[in-house]
Amino acid sequence: MTAADNSLDAILLQIGDFGKYQIFIFSVVCLAVTFHSAVHVAYVFTAMDLNYRCAIPGCDTINPQFEPTWLPNAIPFSENEPSKCARYVINNATQFTNCSKATDFTSKTETCNSFVYKTDEYSILREYDLQCDDNLWKLTLVGTINNVGQFFGLFISGIISDRFGRKVVLIFGLVFCGLCGIIRSFAPSYEWFLVFEFLDAAFAAGSYVCGFIMGVELVGPKRRVLTGTLSSSCYAVGEVFAAGAAWLVQSWKPTIYILYTPPILLLGCFWILPESVRWNLSKGRFEEAKKTLKRIAEVNGKTISDSTFDKLALADESEPTDTYIDVLKSRTLFLRLINCCFCWITCAFLFYGLTLNSVALAGNSYLDFVLTALVEIPAYCICTWIIDKFGRKLSLSGSFFLTALACLAFLIIPDDSEGGRLAVYLVGKFGATVAFTVTYVLTSELFPTRLRHSMMGTCSTFGRIGSMVAPQTPLLAQVWDPLPVVMFTSMGTIAGLLTILFPETLGIKLPDSIEEAENVGKHRDKGES
**Cβ neighbours, 10 Å, residue 490:** 14
pLDDT at 47: 93
Burial (CB count <10 Å: 0-12, 13-18, 19+), residue 55: middle
Q: What is the pLDDT at residue 313?
A: 62
Neighbours of 177 (CB within 10 A): 28
Q: Are 419 and 412 in contact (CB under 8 A)?
A: no
Strand pairing class (81-82; 77-78): antiparallel
* Residue 69 phi, psi (nearest 5): -65, -30
Main-chain phi, psi angles of 373, to 5 degrees: -75, -45
Q: CB 251: neighbour CB atoms within 10 A?
A: 18
pLDDT at 118: 92
How far is residue 67's CA from residue 50's CA, in Å, rounded to a whole number?
Answer: 15
Q: 413 φ, ψ to 5°? A: -65, 135
Q: Delimit the CATH 1.20.1250.20 region(s) of the chain.
A: 1-49+135-318, 320-529
pLDDT along the chain (529 residues), means of 10: 52 83 90 94 91 90 88 88 91 81 88 93 96 89 91 83 87 96 96 97 89 79 78 90 96 97 94 86 82 88 78 57 81 93 94 82 77 91 87 95 94 80 89 91 86 82 85 76 86 95 87 86 51
In our burial notation (b when 16+ CB lie closer than 10 A, e otherwise), range 412-437 reads ebeeeeeeebbebbbbbbbbbbbbbb
Q: Quick one: the chain helix, strand, coil %, rounded to 5?
A: 70, 5, 25
The pTM score is: 0.82
Q: Inter-axis angle of helices 365-374 and 224-249, to 10 degrees?
A: 170
Superfamily of domain 320-529: MFS general substrate transporter like domains (1.20.1250.20)
Q: Which fold has domain 1-49+135-318?
A: Growth Hormone; Chain: A; (1.20.1250)
